[in-house]
A and B are shown apart, each in its own frame.
Chain A
Amino acid sequence: MKSLFYVCLCSIVIALPACESVKPYQRAYLNDHEMQPGQSGALRFDDQVQAYREASSGGGSSKVSGGCGCN
């Protein structure tokens, strides 16, 4: 649990002071499809497989419907 706390803390410490104001006309790179958060459509199936084949899931890539994956 300690490492979880350090992961959270480090992320916030790194992220927040580094923020820079970005004007609407400076968002060309940010608006690119691949810069969007989350997974692209084609990778959702991979996420689902990983949730079945591994003990862990969640953290921005949780499977969104039920199913046992018990095969």
Chain B
Amino acid sequence: MKKRYIVIGLLASSLMALGQNADSTYRKQKISRTDIQVMMSFYTQDNDHSAVTGGIGTENLQVYASQVTIDHLADSTNAYHVDAGVDIISSASTDNIDFIKSSASKLDARTHANAGYQRSFNKKGITAGLNSGVSIESDYTSFGGGLNFSKQNASHSRQVSANVQAFFDDLRWGLLHHGHPIKLIYPSELRNTQWFDHYRRYSYNFEFGLFQVLNRRMTLGIYPGVAYQTGLLSTPFHRIYFSDKSERVETLPDHRLKIPIGIQLNTFVGGRWIVRTNYRYYWDDFGTVAHALNLEGVLKLKPTLSLTAMMRLYAQTASDYFKSYRMHDTDEAFYTSDYDLSMFTSFKPGISIRYAPYSGWKGMIYNTIELHYSYYHRSDGLNAHMATVYLNVSYQRPDKLRK
């Protein structure tokens, strides 16, 4: 009897199971999301160590930079990236290439654009992508491309990443004015000599990353890298005044190896404070060793409003090839009077305010507006101010896959 009841029960339950229809209220959806970021920045600096005039002369410079970035997440696996921007540069130092005030070199523009694609393999925690870009100035054209890869562990507590980039630069002037690069630009009084027989610069960057969650309030990132440059590494319109009062164009070796390593430790302290600490060590075969320490304290005034105070301290040793105005001897093989390669220390205090309501209306989400200002002082006397407005909005549209 018992067997009969069991068989009847199983038959009945199987018939009921066959009679089940798919839940008509359930809809599998993919969420496509587009992030739009707009950044506008202003930069101004002044000092009297311009490399264009051999380590003396004005460095007065203003840059108005704007950039739009669009990140489109098509679904949970495919993401696309596009960004483009223009920097308007008003430079008193490059105006001295020909010593004709307010000449064409006084005002320049850098136009740049990048595009990329990224694919996520969610089950394996792997993300892989590629990107390419272009940057054009009156005296500089750069094409670049790169590959990136990252893998996250199952508990999302560790991520390893690798990033490879290559840039192919042409230092000839003329693309913006004539449609194609023509020649290297030398200081006006040195144009009777062909100082360089090559005009290309190649840069290869490899960067690795290890991101580790240490505990529920602390994360650590370690970013070692290697960069190698070859080709024309001098800037052809930088002057050198020698101790015997003769004059030449800046000359640097045709290859440079750079090894940086960055470490970032982020800590959530209490319920309102976040401390972000970043240290970078840098070495290159031009003889420069540099240390940079960046400290940021973030105070969360409200869940949507945060205030950040920051301080960056930096020190570097001089390049083997740097000497100031009229300190180089003519028997040296390489020489520069560019104070960016001199020994100096710098500090940069800054402040940011970030409002992030994440409020939405009809698919539009207002994510973030951020205002940032910082002051930069270098021990050689260079002072700079930089200010940025950053806006981030999203558009999210659910696409029906199946009804």
Interface residues of A (CB under 8 A from B): 1, 3-4, 7-8, 11-12, 15-16, 18-22, 26-27, 29-30, 32-38, 40-46, 49-50, 52-62, 64-68, 70-71
Using A65-B112, A71-B93 as known contacts, say yes or no to A20 and B214 having CB atoms under 8 A apart. Answer: yes
Using A15-B212, A55-B341 as known contacts, say yes or no to A66 and B135 having CB atoms under 8 A apart. Answer: yes
19 A-B pairs (CB sep. < 8 Å) = A15-B220, A19-B157, A19-B213, A30-B213, A35-B268, A38-B264, A41-B370, A42-B371, A42-B390, A43-B388, A45-B386, A46-B350, A54-B346, A55-B284, A65-B135, A66-B141, A68-B140, A71-B59, A71-B93
Using A41-B37, A60-B264, A62-B207 as known contacts, say yes or no to A19 and B214 having CB atoms under 8 A apart. Answer: yes
Whether A53 lies near B376 (C-beta < 8 A) is: yes
Using A8-B222, A42-B370 as known contacts, say yes or no to A56 and B282 having CB atoms under 8 A apart. Answer: yes
Which residues of A are found within 8 Å of B51, using beta-carbon distances? 70
Whether B209 lies near A58 (C-beta < 8 A) is: no
The distance from the CB of A38 to the nearest CB of chain B, in whole angstroms, is 8
The distance from the CB of A15 to the nearest CB of chain B, in whole angstroms, is 5
The residue on A at minimum CB distance from B214 is A18
Interface residues of B (CB under 8 A from A): 37, 39, 41, 43, 45, 51-52, 59, 61, 65, 89, 91, 93-94, 108, 110, 112, 114, 133, 135, 137, 139-144, 155-157, 165, 167, 169, 171, 203, 205, 207, 209, 211-217, 219-225, 227, 235, 237-238, 258-264, 266, 268, 274, 276, 278, 280-284, 286, 288, 290, 292, 298, 300, 306, 308, 314, 316, 319, 340-341, 346, 348, 350, 352, 354, 356, 368, 370-372, 374, 376, 378, 382, 384, 386, 388-390, 392
Whether B352 lies near A53 (C-beta < 8 A) is: no
The distance from the CB of A7 to the nearest CB of chain B, in whole angstroms, is 5
Using A19-B214, A56-B288, A60-B209 as known contacts, say yes or no to A35 and B43 having CB atoms under 8 A apart. Answer: no
Which residues of B are found within 8 Å of A55, using beta-carbon distances? 282, 284, 286, 288, 290, 316, 319, 340-341
The residue on B at minimum CB distance from A17 is B214
> A37's contact among B203, B211, B268, B292, by CB below 8 Å, is which?
B211
Whether B352 lies near A61 (C-beta < 8 A) is: no
- The 3 tightest CB contacts between A and B, nearest first, are A66-B142, A59-B262, A59-B260
Using A4-B259, A29-B216, A66-B142 as known contacts, say yes or no to A49 and B37 having CB atoms under 8 A apart. Answer: no
CA distance A64 to B207 in the complex (A): 12
CA distance A34 to B298 in the complex (A): 8
The distance from the CB of A3 to the nearest CB of chain B, in whole angstroms, is 7
The residue on A at minimum CB distance from B43 is A49
Whether A42 lies near B388 (C-beta < 8 A) is: yes
The distance from the CB of B324 to the nearest CB of chain A, in whole angstroms, is 15
Which residues of A are found within 8 Å of B237, using beta-carbon distances? 70
The distance from the CB of B285 to the nearest CB of chain A, in whole angstroms, is 11
Whether B261 lies near A67 (C-beta < 8 A) is: no
Which residues of A are found within 8 Å of B284, using beta-carbon distances? 55-56
Whether A62 lies near B205 (C-beta < 8 A) is: yes
CA distance A48 to B65 in the complex (A): 11
Which residues of B are found within 8 Å of A20, using beta-carbon distances? 214-216
Which residues of B are found within 8 Å of A15, using beta-carbon distances? 212, 214, 220, 222
CA distance A30 to B368 in the complex (A): 19
CA distance A27 to B225 in the complex (A): 29
The distance from the CB of B349 to the nearest CB of chain A, in whole angstroms, is 12
Whether A64 lies near B133 (C-beta < 8 A) is: yes
> Max chain B CB contacts within 10 Å: which of A16, A20, A29?
A29
Whether A64 lies near B37 (C-beta < 8 A) is: no
Whether A67 lies near B382 (C-beta < 8 A) is: no
> Max chain B CB contacts within 10 Å: which of A30, A33, A34, A71?
A71
Task: With A30-B217, A49-B386 given, name 11 new contacts (CB 8 A).
Answer: A22-B213, A34-B274, A41-B390, A53-B376, A57-B282, A59-B282, A60-B264, A62-B165, A62-B207, A68-B171, A70-B139
Whether B306 lies near A34 (C-beta < 8 A) is: yes
The distance from the CB of B283 to the nearest CB of chain A, in whole angstroms, is 6
CA distance A4 to B350 in the complex (A): 28
CA distance A29 to B356 in the complex (A): 16
CA distance A24 to B48 in the complex (A): 55
The distance from the CB of B173 to the nearest CB of chain A, in whole angstroms, is 11
> B225's contact among A42, A45, A59, A66, by CB below 8 Å, is which?
A59
Whether B140 lies near A67 (C-beta < 8 A) is: yes
